[in-house]
Amino acid sequence: MDSFLGLLTVLFFLLAAGDFTGNKSITVLAGWEGILAGFSAIYLGAAQVLNETYKRDVLPIGKCA
């Protein structure tokens, strides 16, 4: 969960920086970061559903605090 939130934070900062500076390269980098954050969200969601369904760690996500 922490990695997803970290990726999302970086994504928003990159989007803001790309918009503020008008630099297209930063916006493209933000797009790739968004794809990575999306994959992370899909994995986290699938892991939560599968782990709860099978009552064991099918996809590891770490321990919640």
Query: How confident is the model at residue 47, as a pLDDT?
Result: 94
Residue 9 lies inside a defined structural domain of this protein: yes
pTM of the model: 0.85
3-state helix, strand, coil in the chain (%, to 5): 80, 0, 20
Q: Region 43-64: what's the mean pLDDT?
A: 91
Find the domain containing 12 and state its range: 2-54
Q: How many domains does the chain have?
A: 1
**DSSP tag of 55:** T
Per-residue pLDDT reduced to its tens digit, 1-46 = 688 899 999 999 999 999 999 999 999 999 999 999 999 999 999 9
Query: How confident is the model at residue 3, as a pLDDT?
Result: 86
63 pLDDT band, cuts 50/70/90, is confident
Residue 59 lies inside a defined structural domain of this protein: no
Residue 29 lies inside a defined structural domain of this protein: yes
Query: How confident is the model at residue 31, as a pLDDT?
Result: 97
Residue 33 lies inside a defined structural domain of this protein: yes
